[in-house]
Chains A and B, each alone.
Chain A
Amino acid sequence: MRRALALSAATLLLASACDWDYYSLMNSIPVEGDPAANPVIHVVLGIDGVPIDAASEAVARGAFPGWRMARHVTSFPGTSDVAWSRILHTTPVESYEYQYYDPQKHELVRNGYTGLLAHTIPLTEKPCYRAFDFSGNGLTNGYYNYRAPQYSLGTTLDNIFTLLEGRVQSRSTKAFLGFIIETDVIGHMQTREDFVAALEVIDRRIELFKAAHPERTWLFTLVSDHGHNFVASPDDKMIRFQNELPKVGVEVVDTLADRGPDSPLAAIPIVHTRVTYLSLNTVQEQAPEVAKRVSTFEFVDLAIAKIPAPEGARPEGLAWYAIWKGGELALAFGHDSATDRYHVLPGGDPAALEMGWLLEESAEGLSDEMLFARTLESVYPDLLYKTRTGLEPVGIRFPAQVLVSFAQPFASVGFEVPGGANEVATSIFHGAMHRKDSLGVVLTEERDLPPAFRSDNFLEFFPAVRRHLESRLSLSPSVDANESLDYAQVFP
């Protein structure tokens, strides 16, 4: 009997940790609302990793008729956790990846298998995903995402529309956010055609849902958090950064405790997911030299780091940043947070960044609006803002000291499982500063949009969504004090 009781207690504890019963209960209760109480519903579907190119192609084929489309200029590095945190203004995540370096404890967190398992065992949820009313499709979602992404997309859409129909019966529901991760997986593992087909499926499901529920007005918006570059990276283009750093005289370490500015150059590369950027934690004083050295690699397009204020630089009190390309300083600039103007340091080679005009026009400092407009069509849209905010605690708690943007067709290999399964997700990539990696999309039937806007401004355009989030979560008023743009100036 004692053994039976012990077993039953353990079993109860184990199974109670599982939501299956409660999930069944809460989805088996018929509910009935009054459409007059909430006749207009704002629905945002987060379509992870959909680039503007694929969305444009789907629209050209007839999907989303009459919707407005804008380029979504997303943040750098272009990785989902930090991007959604910034888009939705949720509590900052720890860092760019599950695995990160904690500078307070001087240790790598979720290193190795624990970081890998964090992707597959959904016991905790980052605040950015908690913002979604639907963000996961059961315990096996992580498996089916990769095993059969189209099937997984179907079940996710089933769940989203089932929840949506139920939740709007509550008169308090004015908005709904659903998260679709499968689009990102289809991008990583399949072809551009599959990507476009997935968007067409989403379009059809939306239209079917709206036709079945004419009792309310549904205003759908699709928003993506980053782009995809449509450049495959076979294994010989996969970079194991930890093996490369010593070649430029940078020691690979796993803690920065007891290291100072005069210590030999050292860095902690976060090689975690398969992306086209890499973060390097190092001693801040060593960051410019580390960035310069890693930018000499053929597989590195850009390396960025904060720099000390140059001697004699005016005005004083600015925060300074630099971009290296091919081992040379391409651009150094300071940002005046009080006026939100950027001051470019003479020298460098801005032309290498398609910004040859920069030095001539920077005498009084450059406005954020002007820079956004002038860089929008370049290889690196919104380069200065993205560089600055990528290195600051914007959307994250622990920024790296050096960020590397990979040249195409290279990518960081990410976590490797000894013995196999490392050939997955090599079709296309995201993460880099390049426009193909970073231009997402916003498609909406809710309102007019400028031709392009900064992803940190998403909630400014969709206040009903912001109100919905604020009713459930604590949001930051802004992820960066100077995130806003005057779009009337950008697009006069």
Chain B
Amino acid sequence: MLLVVLLVSAIPRGALADEPAVTASAAAPVATWGRYPLATSGLYPIWEDTGALLQPAQAQLATSGVRVGILPRLQLGLQPSYYIHRAPNLEAKVSIYSSPRLQLAGRLSAIVLFRDAQDRMITPVYASRVVNPSSVVVLAPTSLHVSWQPWSFLVVHGSATVLPMLSNGEDVANTAASGLSAMIELPIVSGNSLLLHAGEVGLWDHDFAYVGASYRLNYRWFLLQLGYAYRLRAEGAQGSPMLNVGVYL
């Protein structure tokens, strides 16, 4: 899959679409407020992202993602805080189609959960429902993301994800789960957006759904996104704060 991503990324700009712009965000005339007034990534882990990419040689250094535009259609990134929790990870995102109002991207990630990943929380007030005392688990979420801006005040980000979970099977079965998610972004004032988040994971084999809301600010190089989501399962709801603070360089 990584090969496919790299091959697609190597296709010259314009071969897949007439529009030269790589991201809608980049095309928006809002340079005074921030280079990326609209979301360039998801906030909820694994299951959401956008169709937008960073421009080549530009970077986002943030708590929920260090990402760098490598080629016109390729962006590489990682989740830095997972490394603090000893969960190495990497992601590649490639633009498949891009026009001022519509972007389509594919993303391939790999996250390694070493044994006893449930014990890696820094504070004692958060716990994991996944435990792997006997196995190293590799997550390889593979996804398609679309960002569509029908009007200037509305952007819809949709994601379809397949999450293969691979291990030696000593703890849990090797499975692949699917999920759909959407972010509704309302750019209320230049550089300021309200976002509504929702997702369904498992689909026909329902696992959980989530709903949330966040506020995003990009002023010049500064990026802040703060929100809260609830994961909804038959057993109960889990509140989950979400924060992304960083800079665009």
Q: A17-25, A78-86, A92-100, A446-454: which one contacts chain B?
A: A17-25
Q: What's the nearest-Cβ distance from chain A to residue B206, in Å? A: 9
Kindly name the residue among A26, A29, A137, A165 whose own CB sees the greatest number of chain B CB atoms within 10 A. A29
Known: A20-B243, A28-B47, A30-B201. A1 touches B81 (CB 8 A): no
Which residue on B lies nearest to A162, using beta carbons? B235
Q: Is A378's CB within 8 Å of the partner chain B?
A: no
Residues of chain A lying within 8 A (CB to CB) of residue B233: 162, 165
Which bracket fits the contact residues of A? 35 or more
Tell me if A471 and B133 are in contact (CB < 8 A).
yes
Tell me if A158 and B172 are in contact (CB < 8 A).
no
Contact of A1 among B129, B165, B249 (CB under 8 A): B249
Contact of B122 among A19, A27, A34, A157 (CB under 8 A): A19
Residues of chain B lying within 8 A (CB to CB) of residue A29: 46, 130, 139, 163, 165
Q: Is B79's CB within 8 Å of the partner chain A?
A: yes
Known: A141-B125, A170-B133. A12 touches B61 (CB 8 A): yes
Kindly name the residue among B64, B208, B238 whose own CB sees the greatest number of chain A CB atoms within 10 A. B238
Q: Is B84's CB within 8 Å of the partner chain A?
A: yes
CA–CA, A164 and B67, complex, Å: 35
For chain A residues 427-454, which have a beta carbon within 8 Å of chain B? none
Q: Is A112's CB within 8 Å of the partner chain B?
A: no
Known: A24-B45, A172-B133. A138 touches B126 (CB 8 A): yes
Q: What's the nearest-Cβ distance from chain A to residue B219, in Å? A: 12
Q: B12-20, B93-101, B113-121: which one contacts chain A?
A: B113-121
Q: Is A365's CB within 8 Å of the partner chain B?
A: no
Tell me if A7 and B247 are in contact (CB < 8 A).
yes
Known: A16-B80, A30-B202, A173-B131. A129 touches B124 (CB 8 A): yes
Tell me if B121 and A167 are in contact (CB < 8 A).
no
Residues of chain B lying within 8 A (CB to CB) of residue A122: 123-125
Residues of chain B lying within 8 A (CB to CB) of residue A34: 173
Q: Is A57's CB within 8 Å of the partner chain B?
A: no
Q: Is B58's CB within 8 Å of the partner chain A?
A: no
Contact of B236 among A33, A125, A157 (CB under 8 A): A157
CA–CA, A5 and B61, complex, Å: 9
Residues of chain B lying within 8 A (CB to CB) of residue A251: none
Contact of B81 among A21, A171, A471 (CB under 8 A): A21
Tell me if B125 and A4 are in contact (CB < 8 A).
no
Contact of A20 among B130, B201, B241, B247 (CB under 8 A): B241
Q: Is A209's CB within 8 Å of the partner chain B?
A: yes
Q: Is B44's CB within 8 Å of the partner chain A?
A: yes
Tell me if B87 and A22 are in contact (CB < 8 A).
yes
CA–CA, A233 and B237, complex, Å: 37
Contact of A18 among B165, B235, B243 (CB under 8 A): B243
Tell me if A212 and B130 are in contact (CB < 8 A).
no
Known: A12-B61, A170-B133. A26 touches B118 (CB 8 A): yes
For chain B residues 223-237, which have a beta carbon within 8 Å of chain A? 229, 231, 233-237
Q: What's the nearest-Cβ distance from chain B to residue A44, in Å? A: 15
Contact of A21 among B82, B127, B128, B170 (CB under 8 A): B82
Known: A17-B122, A29-B46. A158 touches B207 (CB 8 A): no
CA–CA, A396 and B8, complex, Å: 63
Tell me if B236 and A161 are in contact (CB < 8 A).
yes
Tell me if A27 and B231 are in contact (CB < 8 A).
yes
Residues of chain A lying within 8 A (CB to CB) of residue B222: 7
Which residue on A lies nearest to B171, using beta carbons? A170
Q: What's the nearest-Cβ distance from chain A to residue B166, in Å? A: 12
Q: What's the nearest-Cβ distance from chain A to residue B165, in Å? A: 7
Which residue on A lies nearest to B244, using beta carbons? A15
CA–CA, A7 and B61, complex, Å: 10
Residues of chain B lying within 8 A (CB to CB) of residue A136: 123-127
CA–CA, A468 and B171, complex, Å: 15
Residues of chain B lying within 8 A (CB to CB) of residue A18: 81, 122-123, 243
Per-residue contact bits, chain B 154-183, to A (CB 8 Å; 1 contact, 0 not): 000000000101000011110101000000
Tell me if B81 and A15 are in contact (CB < 8 A).
yes
Known: A28-B46, A32-B173, A125-B124. A20 touches B221 (CB 8 A): no
Contact of A24 among B125, B205, B229 (CB under 8 A): B229
Residues of chain B lying within 8 A (CB to CB) of residue A17: 84, 122
Tell me if B243 and A15 are in contact (CB < 8 A).
yes
Residues of chain A lying within 8 A (CB to CB) of residue B81: 15-16, 18, 21-22
Tell me if B131 and A21 are in contact (CB < 8 A).
no
Residues of chain B lying within 8 A (CB to CB) of residue A171: 170-172
Per-residue contact bits, chain B 45-66, to A (CB 8 Å; 1 contact, 0 not): 1110000000000000111100
Which residue on B lies nearest to A141, using beta carbons? B125
CA–CA, A471 and B119, complex, Å: 13
For chain B residues 185-217, which have a beta carbon within 8 Å of chain A? 201-202, 205, 207-208, 210
Residues of chain B lying within 8 A (CB to CB) of residue A12: 61-63, 80, 246
What 3 pairs across the A-B complex have the smallest Cβ distances? A158-B236, A166-B129, A136-B125
Q: A28-B201, A172-B170 given; name 18 further pairs at CB < 8 Å.
A: A1-B249, A12-B80, A20-B126, A23-B128, A24-B229, A26-B128, A28-B44, A28-B208, A30-B163, A30-B175, A32-B175, A137-B125, A138-B241, A158-B235, A165-B235, A170-B171, A172-B131, A212-B234
Binding site for A on B (CB under 8 A): 44-47, 61-64, 79-82, 84-85, 87, 111, 117-118, 120-134, 139, 163, 165, 170-173, 175, 177, 201-202, 205, 207-208, 210, 221-222, 229, 231, 233-247, 249
11 contacts between A and B (CB under 8 A): A15-B81, A17-B84, A18-B122, A22-B126, A26-B129, A135-B124, A157-B236, A159-B238, A171-B172, A172-B134, A471-B133
Binding site for B on A (CB under 8 A): 1, 4-5, 7-8, 11-12, 14-34, 122-125, 129-130, 133-139, 141, 155, 157-159, 161-167, 169-173, 209, 212, 471
